[in-house]
Amino acid sequence: MLEVLTVVGARPQFVKAAVLSRFVQRSEWRDRVHETLVHTGQHYDENMSEVFFREMEIPKPDVNLSTGSGTHGKMTGQMLEKLEALMLERRPDVVLVYGDTNSTLAGALAASKLHIPVAHVEAGLRSHMMAMPEEQNRKLTDHLSTWLFCPTQTAVENLAREGKPVGNAVSATADLPWVGNVGDIMFEASFHYRPQALARAESLLNSLPSQFFLLTIHRAENTDDPARLAAIVQAINAQTETPAVFPIHPRTRKILAERGLSFAPHVHLLDPVGYFEMLALEQRCEFVVTDSGGVQKEAYFFGKPCLTLRDSTEWVELVDSGWNTLVGADAATIAAGFSNLKTPSEAPNLYGSGDTAYQICQTLLGGR
């Protein structure tokens, strides 16, 4: 029996972890893999209620470390201390982490110090902006990991350019890791949940214009920079041809008010929405304008072109294929992006075939 301790710290990571957690509960895997799900408590989310876990078919965490919020150093340090104690108690065979949060790095660090192999899902992603905490977390985690589960071939190539040596799954170590493209686990999640999403969001969709584009803005590089945020608002207000739907976080709404910024009437502001509602909006919209990494991908999953309000992206294959256009936070560049927006004629297979959980389990089990 392979004992896996999975570390998550935010709601999106629970959605990713749910794919693997559901998979190992199948009868043919239940006697081969046992998972302990640990929530660091990095993000308190009042929407993560009993209903959230039930509707999303997500197992509730076996352990909640209740770390709470704070500075990056404080949070990571507290999580590191608590995770180390838990790993000493549980002694798992593998510690599995997702993505690029402080929880990801803390889980990888704690395991590495205890010589417990680390498996990193979504390895190899690079924005090439080390000022981003996410870039720091993902790069450090990659270099501590024994198994690097890449979502794209681009991610595999990023690791090769960094000189990452490659071993095989059975004898892999942190010095000679296994590196492979297993596809994107969020692609698998979107396939699982999309049949339910439209039905569950029917009342929301009925209250919106029949045609709209989906807008999301939440990254600190945009919300905390007065010039960038003002330019984005100016550009969105100027695009009146298609209404916008913007699920806005309370923090972003507060910042807009403090700076005297407001959106034009064609921008419909919503309170934050859940995962099902977000999938439904992505399915129903005409196109997407976002600064979110995950939403860029989900736009592609649903065949929607995307304008990204960032200067770089870790999902470069979307830009290369013409499905994503980087427009930064310059009003003129954003306007040009709207004017030139079109849906490409081809949609290459960028994110695998929807069997990521199976490939992860097979690789971790190796010769077992």
Q: Give the span between the Cα atoms of 224 and 99, in whole angstroms.
A: 23
Catalytic positions, written as ranges:
218
Distances (CA, A) of 110 to 80, 106, 340: 6, 6, 47
pLDDT tens for 209-241 read: 999 999 999 988 999 999 999 999 999 999 999
Q: Are 243 and 336 within one domain?
A: yes
CATH number, domain with residue 293: 3.40.50.2000
Structure tokens that stand for 302 in this block: 């649903």
Domain count, the chain: 2
Q: For residue 189, tell me if it sits in a domain.
A: no
Q: Are 235 and 357 within one domain?
A: no
Q: What is the pTM of this model?
A: 0.88
Q: Are 172 and 267 within one domain?
A: no
Can you give the residue range of the structural domain that contains 84?
Answer: 2-184+352-365
Q: For residue 167, tell me if it sits in a domain.
A: yes
Quick check: 143 and 105 in contact, CB under 8 A? Answer: no
Q: Are 169 and 240 within one domain?
A: no
Q: For residue 191, tell me if it sits in a domain.
A: no
Q: For residue 255, tell me if it sits in a domain.
A: yes
Q: Are 200 and 157 within one domain?
A: no
Give the pairing of strands 178-181 and 147-150.
parallel
Q: Are 138 and 9 within one domain?
A: yes
Q: Give the span between the Cα atoms of 206 and 271, in whole angstroms.
A: 16
Q: For residue 358, tell me if it sits in a domain.
A: yes
Q: For residue 149, tell me if it sits in a domain.
A: yes
Q: Are 106 and 49 within one domain?
A: yes
Distance separating the N- and C-terminal Cα atoms of the chain: 8
Q: Which of 10-19, 31-40, 67-76, 340-349 shows the lowest mean pLDDT across its residues? A: 67-76
Q: For residue 314, tell me if it sits in a domain.
A: yes
Q: For residue 347, tell me if it sits in a domain.
A: no
Q: Give the span between the Cα atoms of 200 and 182, in whole angstroms.
A: 30
Q: Are 164 and 201 within one domain?
A: no
Confidence of residue 57 (pLDDT cuts 50, 70, 90): confident
pLDDT tens for 97-129 read: 999 999 999 999 999 999 999 999 999 999 888
Q: Are 173 and 276 within one domain?
A: no
Q: Are 102 and 12 within one domain?
A: yes
Q: Are 147 and 201 within one domain?
A: no
pLDDT tens for 328-360 read: 999 999 999 999 999 999 999 999 999 999 999
What pLDDT is stored for residue 323 in this prediction? 98
Q: Give the span between the Cα atoms of 162 and 155, in whole angstroms.
A: 11
Q: Are 307 and 275 within one domain?
A: yes
Confidence of residue 368 (pLDDT cuts 50, 70, 90): low
